[in-house]
Amino acid sequence: MGKWRGSLLVGQAIILAAGVAFGQPKPHGDQQYEKKGIHSGNRIRTTFYNSGFVGRVGNVPEDIGGEWPINSGHEYIGDMLVMVGSEIKDTRGQVRHSVVTPRGPLVSARTGDRADDGSKWYTWDPLPGYANPDTNLVAMSHLPISWPPYWPDRMGDIVDPGWPGSWNGYFGKNVFNADQESYYVMDDYNDARYEFYPDSTDLTRRGLGLQGAVRGFQWSHPLAQDVLFQVFDFTNVGTYPHEKMVFGIIWGGMVGGDGEDDNATFDIRDNITYTWDFDNIGAGGWTPVGWAACAFLESPGNPWDGIDNDNDGADGPGKVITESMFAPRALKAGEPVVVIDYDTFQRRVVNMPQDSLVVTYRYLGEKRRLVFRPGDVVQEVPRNLIDDNLDGLIDENDGSSVEIAPRIFQTTYLYVGLKCVDYITGEGKSNLLIDERRDDGIDNDGDWDPVNDDVGLDGAFNTNDPGEGDGQPTSGAGTDLPGEPHMDKTDITESDQLGLTSFYFFYPFNLFSLREDEKIWNNMAPGYFNSTAQNVDGDFIYGSGYFPLRPGETERISVAIIFGWNKEELLRTKRTVQKIYDENYNFAKAPSLPTVWAVPGDNEVTIYWDDKAEYSWDVLSGYDFEGYKIYRASDPGFQDALPITDAFGSRKLDAPIAQFDKIDGIKGFFPIGLDGTQFYLGDDTGLVHSFRDTTVRNGHLYFYAVTAYDHGDPALGILPSETSKYATIDRSGKIETAKNVVAVRPEAPVAGYVGPDKLKQAEPRPGTVGTGNVYLEVVDATRVKDGHLYEIRFFDASSDGLDNDLDWKRDTDDVGADGIRGTFDEGEADGKPTPGEPNLDLRDPHELLPVTSRFEIWDVTSEQNPIRLLSAPFVEVIRRGDEVDTLVNRVRQDIGGSRDFFDGLRFNIQNDWKVFRIPDASNWNKIYPDRPLNYRYSFSPFEAAGFYTRGVAWPVYYKIVMLDTTENMSDPLVIYRAGTGGKPGAPVTIPSAKCNFRIIDGNKPDRKVNFAFLDSPLRPSFIPPGFLSNLDRIIFFETVGDTQIVTWQLSFFGNDTTYHRPRAGDTLTIKTTAPFRTGDRLVARAEAPRVDPEKAKAELARIKVVPNPYVAAATWEPRNPFETGRGPRELHFIHLPKRCTIRIYTVQGELVAVIEHDSPLEDGTAIWNMLTKDNLDIAYGVYVYHVEAPGLGEVVGKFAVIK
């Protein structure tokens, strides 16, 4: 259980937000606010309502009752109803057992309680303000349109009151841990069945004074893909102290869709109830039929009984409960006994008086007295919530009676072997996991992590709210905020749970209605278990109790709806998700969903997607994205994808048709398996962001999913996580998909279609230095803007504003753009690098090498009004606090080129990352046939034996022009000898020297080229000093600011009869490859598809009907969404022009149907549903069609439909 006490600010917050006076009534639930949602975030899909109801309310066609696997059409749940009951006394003094239920299914024998005149429901009703009032949707994390303008229960956040525009997550503000999360709030305000008033401050409130905040969670992770989690926080918003409450669920089973032969039972050890189909045959004959279960993950509890109910404190100190403690004993005067204050549950040890001992307790709102005297024989009475034997423990002899056959019971004690507190000796008092609570401000189980959990009261990083970064656990107890992870409200294991305490399988399903509170109460009574009736149309109730709930307290309860193929799989899954739940859902979060687009073609499909998933942050393992998997199927449930089964034969994963992963050495199978399966991490292929599939057939509907996955963490035992893939088709044929799934039908294009060139080389603007190639690639021709001119602009590390080598330090370098500390100019002390600061761009020698770092793409169709479309980095540095993660080299990882799409296009960049001499562009300009060749040469980064200085491969374009005199001068250069320990030693200066050549920068002729000259005049009588000769060396260097960067050395050799020294006018060209740098620009013009009228006329002859003949069915027809009937049929007219009219006639000339076709250029197909113009099925036989295309011509043909 999870219980905490706090001042409830919900009503006050709403009143303040609305500007209403305090005397007005608080908001309360009403049926007018009822909304519906669908959970579909993994292999389970089901309808639910914001009134405690899961499943189908009745004959509502779009309702789904626990479908598994998703899109199979196989349903297992008719209805699942959440109930809470309490023992109360009405105004007439009569003891009542009031049970609050949902409205229930729309079946008169089972529907919920309501006023005798039918005017009002006596049930759970949803509160206003927790969903968008303009939709009929329950608020869900993946549907921002369903969120309210603000959240009434978050008005207590002083930093961001109400969290407008944010998701109100269980794990904190805008924390999307689950694939899908739902949230709503309900209460029992209108339940006026009994004359009972739970709130003395508001006599309009009826029911039990309860308010329930309800969340649902789904994860697509293989560990939890067959589970729907539900968490209930029930708060006593009244003033009446409930002492004897019970929580329960009615499960209306419909296993296999038939319901007439269901079985159900329970397992107390795993706190699970489950149901299955007797003959393993579902409605309509499908088989096998799975099993369904509902289990407690967190049950109610009693933190006041002195017992470690859930056995999580077994390793700590405490007395072990034995059956000998239940034996009757006589009280003796003077012996130590324990007295409980039933208002506070504080214990005190006293000696038994000589005369009597009086203990007061509360029963149904009034105080009563117990009198104990020496000699009295005392014995614990189970489930009366009183310490009857004065040992300080309450109901330690509680047990269960299981009806194993009609009127044959087996009794078991629940707590024998568990730890408890010995209040007389003090043993067990220091065990924080006995009677632990979630409102005590204590990290009872010690799992709060100061590194990952110190996020403050709102549960979100970097909001600077109270408690963030203070090094101490911050509890949300007493507030309307969640608090930090692993602390009180957000820590499941800080609780003392009762577990499953009752189970009753009954038939027929309408044995009693939801109006009969007393019967429901009795059937939820703790200790009774019955499942003797089997193979019937029965339902079951299970419960957990008793527990108290005092004013202001909240009880947390969580259940899991689980599906599997047999009992063993259900139990394995239950134990797995119990561990997940106990660890606060602490398994790795899958990366964010990529957004996918599809382009149909002629027997091909191209899909492409964004890179959002690559920047996903996981609280457990940081930036852990690893790759993409691509799946294809012809059904929305991806059931025809190749399955990967575990050692038990259960389907755990699907085999992708393609996989692309980062080149990072993380590849092959993940070393840790899951039930005999291992996740495949890829082959270091490199990433792509588009995929072309040429194995498809025209006319068929395909579903493509692009999932992103992370690499897991073997050291922490964290398995890889992969995003979900969701698609569905409703009964009307409407397709709904997640953003990483697309439905696409490849077709031949329209008649006369002329497509653009897939790849066009971009032309460099004058002044472009980079030697790579850039191509404009058409990815989605439907989005191309014809004639638009696009320009790509590059930037390098010396001017990109990024600390590319990560040597910028906040403490020493955060001095502002002027580079001077204390002037308080732009960027000073802002915690991030600013151009002009040390160790950044031009003020960082290590960033001076012009390595491409980012690019921009502009639409320059209008030279006067260019439009920047995107800016994307090649190297991106991401900071989180003081930690730095670097995502290195986006384009090197992307083997398909850039992943940044615009207007259906992308620039495919083939950058020359490595700098080296281009042989074909480097040579002497004159080779004389009548004399030997000029000197040979070598060109490489500077290096000399005994010297520390090493040259950098700098991109250059040099022209060394020979002169006939030594009129030019080289530049002085300082290089360093090698010192000790890998450090530079003494400097050596190469002085300026005369030379008979000059060096020109081929890219910028006006720029001075820095070089030093090492003259080696071996035979000065033949070659005077300063003239280039054998063994001479030229050392190049760059000067940027005050920094000299040594780059290349050019050495000459070959003083023999074959080679000759160069003469005046000879020119040696040296050109290297060059990455694109700042100032480089390339342009390309786009061409959109078009229709050639003459070609269209000629292609009218290709028009035909497929299949022809139509025999009973066509392979592309979708699954029948209806329980009876033929289902949808499709006949395709293909190779049509863009616009035409199709008329279909019988052979007698009677008009059957007319189809007006007006399609995109890529789709030359019209689909006919084979219904007449009067919406009737056509008869079998031969039909004539006439296609009229204005301006192009007409076509007549025929087709046959065969039964």
Q: Tell me, what's the pLDDT at 878?
A: 32
Q: Which residue in 630, 780, 604 sits closest to 697, CA to CA?
A: 604
Work out the number of other CB atoms within 10 angstroms of the CB of residue 278.
16
DSSP string for residues in 1051-1093: EEE--SSSEE---TT-EEEEEB-----TT-EEEEE----EE-H
**Residue 29 near residue 125, CB atoms below 8 Å:** yes
Largest CA distance in the chain: 137
- Mean pLDDT over 695-699 rounds to 96
pLDDT interval class at 983 (50, 70, 90): confident
Structure tokens at 195: 């004359």
What is the dihedral angle through the alpha carbons of 578, 584, 589, 595, rounded to the nearest 10 degrees? 100
Pick from 404-408, 425-429, 1146-1150: least confident: 404-408
* pLDDT score of 35 more than 60: yes
pLDDT digits (tens, 9 = 90+) for 714-758: 988 888 999 988 888 877 778 889 999 999 999 999 999 999 999
Does 288 sit behind a cis peptide bond, omega within 30 degrees of 0 on the bond before it? yes
User: Which secondary structure element, helix H or strand E, spans residue 518, and what is its range?
Assistant: helix 517-524
- Whether the per-residue pLDDT at 4 is higher than 50: the answer is no
**Is the pLDDT confidence value at 509 over 90?**
no
Query: What is the model's pLDDT at position 797?
Result: 76
Q: What is the mean pLDDT of the chain?
A: 88
119 or 1121: which leads in pLDDT: 119
Task: Please give the C-alpha separations between residue 153 and each of 129, 150, 407, in angstroms, as whole numbers.
Answer: 9, 9, 49
Mean pLDDT along residues 593-604: 94
Query: What average pLDDT does range 199-221 have in this prediction?
Result: 95
Under the banding of pLDDT at 50, 70 and 90, the label for residue 25 is low
pLDDT in the model for residue 864: 95
Residue 8: the pLDDT is: 37
Pick 992 or 844 by higher pLDDT.
992
* Run of H or E including 274: strand 272-277
pLDDT in tens, 60-76: 888 999 999 998 889 99
- pLDDT at 616 > cutoff 60: yes
Q: What domains appear along the chain, each with residue ranges and CATH number? A: 79-127+183-299+499-582 (2.70.98), 319-420 (no CATH), 596-744 (no CATH), 763-910 (no CATH), 919-1072 (no CATH), 1090-1202 (2.60.40.10)
Query: For position 883, what pLDDT does the model report?
Result: 32
pLDDT, greater one: 79 or 1122: 79
Instruction: Kindly state the tokens that stand for 287.
Output: 């088989």
Pairing of strands 1193-1202, 1110-1111: parallel
pLDDT at site 10: 35
Write the burial class of residue 349 (CB in 10 Å: 0-12 exposed, 13-18 middle, 19+ buried): middle
Angle at CA 535, nearest 5°, toward 530 and 538?
60
Kindly state the percentage of the chain with pLDDT values over 70: 91
Q: Does the structure show a pLDDT above 60 at 889?
A: no
Q: What is the pLDDT of residues 91-104, one digit of tens each?
A: 999 999 999 999 98
Does 930 score more than 70 pLDDT? Answer: no
Mean pLDDT for 81-87 is: 97
Is the confidence at residue 11, as pLDDT, over 70?
A: no
pLDDT of 157 > 50? The answer is yes
pLDDT tier at 1122, thresholds 50, 70, 90 = low
Burial class (CB in 10 A: 0-12, 13-18, 19+), 931: exposed
pLDDT at residue 169 greater than cutoff 80? yes
Tell me how far apart the alpha carbons of residues 540 and 266 are, in angstroms, rounded to a whole number: 10
Query: What span, in angstroms and rounded, lies between the C-alpha atoms of 1135 and 1164?
Result: 5
For residue 520, what pLDDT is reported?
94
Residue 15 has pLDDT above 60, yes or no: no
Q: What is the CA radius of gyration of the chain?
A: 39
Q: How many residues does the chain have?
A: 1203
Helix (H) / strand (E) containing 517? helix 517-524
Beta carbons within 10 angstroms of residue 221's beta carbon: 23
Cβ neighbours of residue 1144 closer than 8 Å, sequence gap 6 or more: 1151, 1152, 1153, 1154, 1155, 1168, 1183, 1184, 1185
Q: Which residue has the tokens 């499960």?
A: 251
pLDDT bracket for residue 823 (50, 70, 90): confident
Where does the pLDDT of residue 895 fall: very low under 50, low under 70, confident under 90, or very high at 90 and above?
Answer: very low
pLDDT band with cut points at 50, 70 and 90 for residue 452: confident
Q: For residue 963, what are the contacts with CB-CB under 8 A and spacing of at least 6?
A: 996, 997, 998, 1064
pLDDT of residue 876: 37
Q: For residue 965, give the DSSP letter.
A: S
pLDDT for 570 beyond 90? yes
Q: Which positions ≥6 away from 539 have C-beta within 8 Å?
A: 78, 250, 251, 252, 253, 505, 506, 507, 509
Q: Which two tokens stand for residue 268?
A: 């107390």
The CA–CA distances, whole Å, from 228 to 63, 254, 579 equal: 17, 17, 15
Are the C-beta atoms of 611 and 755 separated by less than 8 Å?
A: no
Q: Are 286 and 74 in contact (CB under 8 A)?
A: yes
Residue 19 has pLDDT above 60, yes or no: no
Q: What is the distance between the alpha carbons of residues 1112 and 1124, in angstroms, rounded to a whole number? A: 17
Tell me whether residue 327 is exposed, middle or buried, using C-beta atoms within 10 angstroms of its C-beta: 0 to 12, 13 to 18, 19 or more: exposed
- CA angle, 626 as apex, 620 and 632 as ends, to 5°? 120
* Among 47-51, 598-602, 892-896, 1136-1140, the least confident range: 892-896
> What number is the average pLDDT over the span 271-276?
95
1193: phi then psi, degrees, rounded to nearest 5: 145, -170
Distance CA 463, CA 157 (A): 11
Phi/psi at 892 (nearest 5 deg)?
-65, -35
| Alpha carbon distance 1164, 753 (integer Å) | 9
- pLDDT of the residue at 842: 62
Q: How confident is the model at residue 1019 (pLDDT cuts 50, 70, 90)?
A: low
What is the mean predicted confidence (pLDDT) over 1041-1046?
A: 82
Q: Higher-confidence residue: 93 or 402?
A: 93
**Residue 68 φ then ψ, to 5°:** -155, 135
Distance of alpha carbon 237 from alpha carbon 5, whole angstroms: 11
User: How much is the average pLDDT of 101-130?
Assistant: 86
Q: What is the pLDDT of residue 383?
A: 84
Burial 765-802 (b: 16+ CB within 10 A, else e): eeebbbbbebbbbbbbbeebeeebebbbbbbbbbbbeb
Mean pLDDT of the region 34-41: 95
Confidence (pLDDT) at 405: 65
Give the pLDDT confidence score for residue 898 in this predicted structure.
Answer: 44
What band does 1058 get if pLDDT is binned at 50, 70 and 90? Answer: low
pLDDT of residue 412: 76
Band (pLDDT 50/70/90 cuts) for residue 215 is: very high
- Answer whether residue 648 shows pLDDT above 90: no
> Which position has the higher pLDDT, 562 or 469?
562
1083-1110 average pLDDT score = 96
CB atoms within 10 A of CB 1041: 9
**How is residue 539 written in tokens?**
């339902």
